[in-house]
Amino acid sequence: MFGFGKPKHKEITAAQLDELIRKGEALVVDVREVNEFADGHIPGAVNLPLSTFQASKLPKAEGKTIILNCLGGKRSGMALDKCSVAQEAVDTHLAGGFGAWASAGLPVER
């Protein structure tokens, strides 16, 4: 009735993100810090750490959907909040973050 329990942001699963990437329909923006990103990330992801994140600095999506991710989902949600304040059309993140991606056995780039 009042929207309690409803997710604040859109979430997609690792399998859904993998499919979007394979179709060339997603651009992944990883908001983890540089050292975390260097330790392993989703292939093709762009790194924009939350500590310096500005929605205005998001890369041009060129017809793709921008999907944010972090390690577990908290920081990407915080980045989505910043996008919403800046009125950027970015509203989706990876449920469970990079941890879910890696746990699903999907490719990791270093």
Dump pLDDT digits (tens) for 89-107: 899 999 999 999 999 999 9
Amino acid identity of residue 60, one-letter, is: K
Q: Where are the domains of the chain?
A: 10-103
CATH of 10-103 among 3.40.250.10, 3.90.1150.10, 3.60.110.10, 3.40.50.300:
3.40.250.10
Listed in order, strand segments (DSSP E) in the chain are 10-12, 26-30, 46-47, 65-69, 92-94
The angle subtended at Cα 6 by Cα 26 and Cα 90, nearest 5°, is 30
- What backbone torsions phi and psi does residue 73 show, to the nearest 5 degrees? 120, -20
For the whole model, what pTM was predicted? Answer: 0.92
Pick from 5, 57, 6, 8: which is nearest to 31 by CA?
57
- pLDDT band per the 50, 70, 90 thresholds, residue 1: very low
pLDDT in tens, 53-86: 999 999 999 899 999 999 999 999 999 999 988 8
